[in-house]
Amino acid sequence: MGWLKACDVDSSLHTWSHRFPIKCLTSKLKSTENQFNHILSLAKQKNKMESHIVCSAQKPHVVCVPYPAQGHINPMLKVAKLLHVKGFHVTFVNTVYNHNRLLRSRGPHALDGLPSFRFEAIPDGLPDTDVETTQDIPTLCESTMRNCLGSFKELLRRLNTGDDVPPVSCILSDGCMSFILDTAEELGVPKVLFWTTSACGFMAYLHFYLFIEKGLCPLKGTCSY
User: What pLDDT, on a 0 to 100 scale, did the predictor assign at position 44?
Assistant: 55
pTM over 0.85: no
Quick: pLDDT tens for 191-216. Answer: 999 988 888 888 888 888 898 898 88
Please confirm whether the linkage preceding 190 is cis (ω < 30° from 0). Answer: no
**Start-end of H helices in 59-136:** 70-85, 96-106
192, containing H or E segment? strand 191-194
Architecture of domain 57-198: 3-Layer(aba) Sandwich (3.40)
User: What pLDDT, on a 0 to 100 scale, did the predictor assign at position 78?
Assistant: 95
Query: Distance between CA 23 and CA 225 in Å, rounded?
Result: 83
Model confidence at 138: pLDDT above 70: yes
Give bridge partners of residue 122 from the DSSP assignment. Answer: 95
Quick: pLDDT tens for 5-32. Answer: 444 444 443 443 444 444 443 444 445 4
